[in-house]
Structure 1
Amino acid sequence: MPTSSSVLSNGRDAAHAPLIQLSPETLAAPAREPSMQIIRRNGTVSPFDAGKISVAMTKAFLAVEGHTAAASRRVHEAVEQLTGDVVAALTRRVGEGRTFHIEDVQDQVELALMRSEHHKVARAYVLYREERARTRAEELAAKPAPVSTAPVLHVMLANGTRAPLDSARLALIVNEACAGLDGVDAAPVLEETRRNLYDGITLDELALAGIMAARTLVEQEPNYTFVSARLLLDKLRTEVLSFVGGTPTHASQADMTTRYAEYFGAYIKTGIPAELLDPELARFDLKRIAAALKPEGDLQFQFLGLQTLYDRYFLHVQGNRIELPQAFFMRVAMGLALREIDREARAIEFYNLLSSFDFMASTPTLFNSGTQRPQLSSCFLTTVADDLDGIFKSVKDNALLAKYSGGLGNDWTRVRGLGAHIKGTNGESQGVVPFLKVANDTAIAVNQGGKRKGAVCAYLETWHIDIEEFLDLRKNTGDDRRRTHDMNTANWVPDLFMQRVEADGEWTLFSPDETPELHDLYGKPFAERYAAYEEKAARGEIRVFKKVRATDLWRRMLTMVFETGHPWITFKDPCNLRSPQQHAGVIHSSNLCTEITLNTSDDEVAVCNLGSVNLLNHIGQNGLDHAQLKRTVTTAMRMLDNVIDINFYTIPEARRSNLKHRPVGLGLMGFQDALQVQSIATASDAAVNFADTSMEAIAFHSISASVDLAAERGRYPSFEGSLWSRGILPIDSIEILAEARGGVQMDRSTTLDWNGLRDRVKSTGMRNSNVMAIAPTATISNICGVAQSIEPAYQNLYVKSNMSGDFTVVNAFLVRDLKKRGLWDEVMVSDLKYFDGSVGSIDRVPDDLKALYATSFEIDSAWLIEAASRRQKWIDQAQSLNLYIANPSGKKLDQLYRLAWTLGLKTTYYLRSRSATHVEKSTLKGTDGKLNAVSATGAAAKTAGAPILVQSSAVTAPDLSGAMACSIDNPECEACQ
């Protein structure tokens, strides 16, 4: 390679200067990291030395930037950081094995250069790698064909002995993994796999070599994600069958036709003594159960889904997994059928629904069903009392509820504010914030055994005297003792405040110890009592209060939700006015993800039990398949109702509430997939109408199923007096909200026989006080391989980060349509990377496909709010609705959130902005991250949300200059899990 001085003196473009190649000789040296090794291109192995990366990278930079003193200083600082990034990336991947091919290291160097925006160096590096690859190919072609001297490779067995590599079995497993998949070829997978083999490779590294090989091909053909999953499945089979059977065992997918049934009984016998499985499972007719297992179901997993199960869901004994996928689904099904009369038949019915991906239970149910601690519920809502005993009881309750995977929503509005009088000590209160800090730290301490982070959301009403400090809780500046960096927060906003904002009026902040009635009031009674308190304050009869301009406070609320992603904006009055259970109490908050709206009190902790219909699986040639949807919803509702009776309750207030009201929350996922398979663009009237009719069908069948369960099992105990008992269904409750507000802009049209169902509800009753809620489904949608919840497509090609690592995600529907038009090729892949997964700027993509595959930041969020309003008319609870702003301004945010309120939404969730870099412009090869991981802190730091400059705001809108929102691919965000 020419020296940097010769490159520059020759006058060549520095961007095209040939850079030092990171050769095996460059990277292999006396090892500073003896546990990691490099595979040379000739198949030999050398120790890895990170210092050689620094040397080679320094030469690469100097070749572009020159040898001046200033350049040298810059280069030294950059190289030090980049070398650390490369080593950290490789270290995070040690779960894949401690041996890396030279190309893998070069891929990581390339990615590090791109991520740090050293584009000239990266571009020249890419060109040099391509030039060297061509040179090697030409040299190889010029040589006479050598006599075959391929070395015999050996595998290091678990007991330390060596055995010859079984090349025939390797080929069999790869060919089996590729069978039946369009656009997939086993040859490149085998070639890439063999490139990463070396003499003495371990069994784990051998298994992972094929998985990694297939993953590198996903960006060219999405179906390779199934190949990766099937190769991971082979690794899982070896691990599980060897441990459960007691001897090293290999089995192909074809072998599992008979082996699954044999294995299942041994799995039960292994899990019970290990105190993982409920001993009651052994009392099922295990032959009948095992005969119902469907081994072919293992083939429908995409890699992200199976890897997620492998990392976080499958039961294990001392680190050895004992569950195969179909046993996992059957374990969950059996756990939900424990109290059924013919429990084998019901378990098989539940298993068929889960294993088909038509419906998926929530994560706590998947974690714990069939185990000795069956905490199956998803969400818990509490209200915190205004005394030390009550406050610290609530913190303890949070810990007990979070221990077994519950997500928490705490109402803190009753806690007196800063400066309020404390009678017992004759002192002044420090307000709610110090206690929120304690709750925040408790959530971090109780992290569900590393399965997922403990998560809690604190709610505060907009009239609380501490609301301004509450808005600042997630800021990264200020007194850290008054910050809660890990706790989610949400505004609980009464309609009166929004009306004052509309009128540009005054708003008064109070301490709840002086205005206790406001906590339990809503609608007109709240407005009347609030005005009375304002009059008392004006007369000097209230000690702690503050007057602010309503639009100023609204401006701060919007500024903070954009700058920090919190507090979310949720609406108190529609939650209560449309609640079927308003006769039995008050809704004081929502939950962790803003979709649950249930009553809370000192005696009752609200509990909700969740699951989601996979909408994509219910789309036929003529649109929504109502018959199939009815079957799915009927079975799903029975499963959710069973959760209530089987559930392991960690505190008595939760048990009391759940058995009294029996609420469940049936939701949906795969909405975006359902649109795209029907060629419906998200930003269209057709999409809004589909949101309406699909939710109407789910609501109709859910309510009908609850009526059927009431006929079989009895009404829920607090049914009398509910809106249900008065024949008022969710569609009817819109009128209650409209009357309280003086009108509401919600569509009231229907298409199904609601009169007949209304009569059945009144005469027979309901088994469940609440039946619907749309949760984020971030993890279970990954398991099923569909878009989460009601979310639009984030990007059409990107790298997704979560607790299991980084995964290449490609929109298979887009690839399908581009193939039909002869447009899917390497150039299209390159263009998608360059334009961050968007087809909007790619000229050769037709306009109809640009509209159909517009990404979340290319869609006006007003369309999402309109679709959400159409769903909300049918839902007795709420929905987790994320909003997206590509080019935010204060005026846009003001319009967006006012529209959400005007159209009758109960809650909103995250406001999403773009992070700095999503799709690497050079290559996705090697960026799929590590396997077998339970943390992604490096990725979290990378994607924490990039500052976005915005235009000056309108008079009534916030100043958002330099602000940032929650990044959509932040793996530390609960919504992303």
Structure 2
Amino acid sequence: MSITLEARPSQHYESSSTGIPKATVDPVFQVIRRNGSVTPFDASKISVALTKAFLAVEGGRAAASRRVHETVDGLTSQIVVALTRRGVQERTFHIEEIQDQVELALMRGEHHKVARAYVLYREERKRERAAETAAPIPTMPSISVKSKDGSLAPLDAARLRKLIEESCAGLADVSAEAILSETQRNLYDGITRDELADAPVLAARTLIETEPNYTFVTARLLMDKLRREALSFVAGRTDEARQSEMGERYPEYFRAFIAKGIVADLLDPELARFDLDRLGGALKPERDGIFQYLGLQTLYDRYFLQTHGIRFELPQAFFMRVAMGLALREIDREAKAIEFYDLISTFDFMCSTPTLFNAGTPRPQLSSCFLTTVPDDLDGIFKSIKDNALLAKYSGGLGNDWTRVRGLGAHIKGTNGESQGVVPFLKVANDTAIAVNQGGKRKGAVCAYLETWHIDIEEFLDLRKNAGDDRRRTHDMNTAHWIPDLFMQRVAEDGQWTLFSPDETPDLHDLYGTAFAERYEAYEEKAERMEMKVARRVRAVDLWRRMLTMLFETGHPWITFKDPCNLRSPQQHCGIVHSSNLCAEITLNTSNDEVAVCNLGSINLVAHVTNDGVDFDKLERTVKTAMRMLDNVIDINFYTIPEARRSNLRHRPVGMGLMGFQDALQALRINYGSEEAVAFADTSMEAISFHAISASVDLAAERGRYPSFDGSLWSQGILPIDSIELLKSARGTDLRLDTSSTLDWDGLRDRVRTTGMRNSNTMAIAPTATISNICGVAQSIEPAFRNLYVKSNMSGDFTVVNPFLVRDLKARGLWDEVMISDLKYFDGSLGAIDRIPEDLKALYATAFEIDAHWLVDAAARRQKWIDQGQSLNLYIAAPNGRKLDALYRLAWERGLKTTYYLRSQSATHVEKSTLKGTDGKLNAVSSSVHHSAPENIEAMAGKACLIDDPTCEACQ
């Protein structure tokens, strides 16, 4: 049976008697040869190449092996589907792309020796061709370019060459000739303008794995496509410009951009009242060149304003639009807009995704996180679900406390029946989050929190399982435990634990510390006397073990701690923290009348590091400006429900975090798994904390203290570093935590007491997965996942290579094709590569090579300075019950408020490919790191969050 290539090709093929599939040539699909000629696609040639590859490695025995022939048939089928799945819109592919897919299929099939030999063979052939064609690149053949109206025009070869040369300018170890040569291979007569714009981008990104600077080249080439798109739209005619011309073009374009955006109802008309000439003159076109490819492609796909699929917002206009949106209520708003613009356009600080999406628009919903508590009545439950939909509509992430909802079997007075418990309502909340997907920008997402004493806790544990009654499963909802200290103490002493329905124990929900323990024990005594309708006793250790087992198998529920969040809360005088948020870093009070709101942004730590350490003066300036931006969010914000507005204006919380921690360590040559890294986490967070609190005091002096300040810990002169004593006192134990400091905290305490604070909360470390991509740094406080891998997000798949590692390998003469091949083969890890020195292996150890206790130790040292929490992921390469028990007990003992995902390595690691062909269009390669046990990997596909799940709100 033959292979028929259709617009939507079948995935079922049969082989000829020789084991090589026959191919019916379909003129819809064509191949661009290296000499520029175009020939029909013939799948049988792929089978021949694969068979030769196996023969080369396995010798003559492979020729007679039925297994090899069957393997080749299957691989060929996979490759054909991968190449043709894009349909008739992309009818041509280059010979190199076919070879990339061959490598990828071999790696996916774990034919590692064959794939490695194939990689080295290709590199050798590449060198041979280069030697044969060492003469200057021949003149580009006569090629016509097709416009949208079907008209043809000659290719402007001079402009193409100039564009590529300009994109390489100022970057070391990149070759304009190599990109131009590769680009020429992708050109053919009649190529469309869009394909022509993509050709140099596709050519350059194939080289990123060989030299990190090609990521900047690729981004600059993508900028040319964006410039043509945007300039043509605002001019109303075909228009284009090279980057060198944008110094003159940006101011004129900027004014037209604002006008077009207002007409399209995409921008707030108030922006037109700014001095646009002053702002346009402040734009810095050269900052377009600091983007990496992943960052710019992400902005292009998801952030830049567009109408009818046309992006008309250029990067510097984007940053200025955000800055204007945050400066709307400033007195000298042009000056503040320029100040805000300079901060974010240099990547020193980045606002959160909702702020970037919506600042300066007619509905500026700029906040990241919303926390609610769900009442125990039908009206309240379904109002909470409706609130979820309204809050998620404009990019808000949600944390719901469900502890008040009565449990399974509890009495319902109105119907004289029995409750079905909290799980059916969680199912409705899960489906609502999927239905409200933020206009397709990213999935709506919610995390449900439940206290450990709730009678439904065991069913809650099963919510993310794939087995069982699907009506009682929430495959798309994140879940988290809200654990009181008393439970952890019972686990430590191997005691009993009693589960209750909250309708019989309503005050437990609002108690913590000693008061909780006393009341809980009183309810236990009532249960002993058979005075509770619904109660069940379990062994605390058994429940704890099951919690850890489910965390390992499904990634949920996360482990978060109720008492540290409340005992150290500055706002304990006016409410209770009932849960954290979607990403487990926000710890704010919630009630029936108040939905907690947090407004986020993150400092790029590596941008504040020099060879001598942290540039504390620059860090102070950054924090001061950033705190003003975050405070402005509160007043400008578009609130979709009144409870959120009431809460935010009364307490004015913000959450300043950080990203690029791993980059900062490597820039300073500090191993992540070391006491030096823990000390750096301490001193850097101390500086951020000091300046954030100080900046909030300055804002209070200028604008007034927040309304609920009186009675807060702030008003008593108790700062985050001081509140550790409150937790120690409640527990009656030492946290085994270094509480030393280096800055003038006594002076700051006096200022806080006398002047007050503008914000009830100031700091929280969010995951930053997307904004760190924009800035081109490691996300949040995470250790490096891999040194060379393919990163997946909603824009596609992208080659990521550690530039610090490449720099060091070059310095030691170790960066070559074999090293690249070895990094792919060993999943971006250096440990098994013999020729890499031990000091580099230690410095560039990846997340699963670092003992997880270092992550907890560093987080604990940060936590002493932070008034909220941290999105702390924990990595364990080979987890078992004993390791998990020790790790999470350590997190509790050290006073951490929350933990986030448990990252455990699956049986299938990062797929080993050439990393070519992953330009954001082909979802060809992705990380395979799951939060599931190896035996559950196949079942968990698409359910457990991957290391960079493109559909997971919590990761964005």
Q: TM-score range by the shorter chain?
A: over 0.9
Q: Match of 2:510?
A: 520
Shift of 1:897: 0.2
Residue type of the partner of 1:806? D
Shift of 1:382: 0.3
Shift of 1:918: 4.6
Range moving further from structure 2, 205-214 or 608-617: 205-214
Q: Match of 1:968?
A: 947
**Equivalent of 1:884 in 867, 875, 880:** 875
Q: Match of 1:493?
A: 483
Change (3 A) 1:588 1:288: same
**Equivalent of 1:153 in 143, 163, 167:** 143
SS at match of 1:790: coil
Shift of 1:830: 1.9
Q: Match of 1:590?
A: 580
Change (3 A) 1:925 1:77: closer
**Equivalent of 2:889 in 880, 885, 898:** 898
Q: State, as a whole percentage, how many aligned pairs show the same letter.
A: 75
Q: Does 1:833 align with 2:829?
A: no
Q: 5 Å matches for 1:158-237?
A: 158-237=148-227
Q: 5 Å matches for 1:225-374?
A: 225-374=215-364
Residue type of the partner of 2:454? H
Q: Match of 2:95?
A: 102
Distance 2:813 2:481 in 1: 50
**Equivalent of 2:82 in 58, 77, 88:** 88
Distance 2:305 2:137 in 1: 50
Distance 1:507 1:121 in 2: 56
Q: TM-score, normalising length from structure 1?
A: 0.91
Q: 5 Å matches for 1:863-874?
A: 863-874=854-865
Distance 1:244 1:332 in 2: 19
Distance 1:651 1:424 in 2: 29
SS at match of 1:591: coil
**Equivalent of 1:438 in 423, 428, 434:** 428
Q: Match of 2:836?
A: 845
Shift of 1:620: 2.1
Q: Match of 1:955?
A: none
Change (3 A) 1:347 1:675: same
Q: Match of 2:644?
A: 654
Q: Does 1:548 align with 2:538?
A: yes
Distance 1:699 1:264 in 2: 37
Distance 1:313 1:439 in 2: 27
Range moving further from structure 2, 914-923 or 161-170: 914-923
Distance 1:51 1:399 in 2: 52
Q: Match of 1:751?
A: 742
Q: Match of 2:793?
A: 802
SS at match of 2:263: coil
Q: Match of 1:8?
A: none
Range moving further from structure 2, 573-582 or 675-684: 675-684
What 5-or-longer segments of structure 1 have no aligned partner? 1-18, 951-960
Q: Match of 1:9?
A: none
Change (3 A) 1:319 1:283: same
Change (3 A) 1:627 1:136: closer
Q: Match of 2:701?
A: 711
Range moving further from structure 2, 98-107 or 583-592: 98-107
Distance 1:46 1:439 in 2: 53
User: In the alignment, is the contact (CA less than 8 A) between 1:171 and 1:190 conserved in 2?
Assistant: yes
Distance 2:932 2:129 in 1: 41
User: In the alignment, is the contact (CA less than 8 A) between 2:164 and 2:179 conserved in 1?
Assistant: yes
Q: Match of 2:899?
A: 908
Q: Match of 2:562?
A: 572
Change (3 A) 1:292 1:737: same
Shift of 1:141: 8.0
Shift of 1:388: 0.9
Shift of 1:315: 0.3
Change (3 A) 1:405 1:86: farther
Residues 529-578 of structure 1, C-alpha deviation per residue, up to 9 Å, x if partnerless?
00000000111110111110000000000001111111000000000000
Q: Does 1:393 align with 2:387?
A: no
User: In the alignment, is the contact (CA less than 8 A) between 2:368 and 2:598 conserved in 1?
Assistant: yes
Q: Match of 2:26?
A: 30
Q: 5 Å matches for 1:708-857?
A: 708-743=698-733, 744-857=735-848
Shift of 1:851: 1.2
Residue type of the partner of 2:934? I
Residues 806-843 of structure 1, C-alpha deviation per residue, up to 9 Å, x if partnerless?
11111111111222222222222222112211122222
RMSD: 2.8
Change (3 A) 1:487 1:634: same
Alignment coverage as a number of residue pairs = 933
Change (3 A) 1:370 1:94: farther
SS at match of 2:617: helix
Residues 614-645 of structure 1, C-alpha deviation per residue, up to 9 Å, x if partnerless?
11111123211111111100000000000000
SS at match of 1:967: coil
Distance 1:941 1:213 in 2: 23
Q: Match of 1:39?
A: 32
Residues 287-322 of structure 1, C-alpha deviation per residue, up to 9 Å, x if partnerless?
011010000010100000000000000000111011
Change (3 A) 1:864 1:924: same
What 5-or-longer segments of structure 2 have no aligned partner? 1-17
Shift of 1:249: 1.0
Q: 5 Å matches for 1:374-413?
A: 374-413=364-403
Distance 2:63 2:429 in 1: 52
Residues 846-866 of structure 1, C-alpha deviation per residue, up to 9 Å, x if partnerless?
222111111111000101100
User: In the alignment, is the contact (CA less than 8 A) between 2:559 and 2:898 conserved in 1?
Assistant: yes
Range moving further from structure 2, 900-909 or 150-159: 150-159
Q: TM-score, normalising length from structure 2?
A: 0.93
Change (3 A) 1:260 1:586: same
Range moving further from structure 2, 175-184 or 845-854: 845-854
Shift of 1:528: 0.4
Q: Match of 1:467?
A: 457
Change (3 A) 1:54 1:653: farther
**Equivalent of 1:480 in 470, 473, 476:** 470
Q: Does 1:505 align with 2:495?
A: yes
Distance 1:59 1:751 in 2: 66
Distance 1:537 1:570 in 2: 27
Residue type of the partner of 1:528? E
Shift of 1:30: 2.3
Shift of 1:84: 3.9
Change (3 A) 1:752 1:132: closer
Q: Does 1:948 align with 2:927?
A: no
Shift of 1:735: 0.6
Distance 1:146 1:710 in 2: 66
Distance 1:686 1:125 in 2: 42
Shift of 1:118: 3.3
Q: Does 1:620 align with 2:610?
A: yes
SS at match of 1:380: strand
Residue type of the partner of 2:82? A
Distance 1:353 1:501 in 2: 48
Residue type of the partner of 2:26? P
Q: Does 1:698 align with 2:694?
A: no
Range moving further from structure 2, 74-83 or 664-673: 74-83
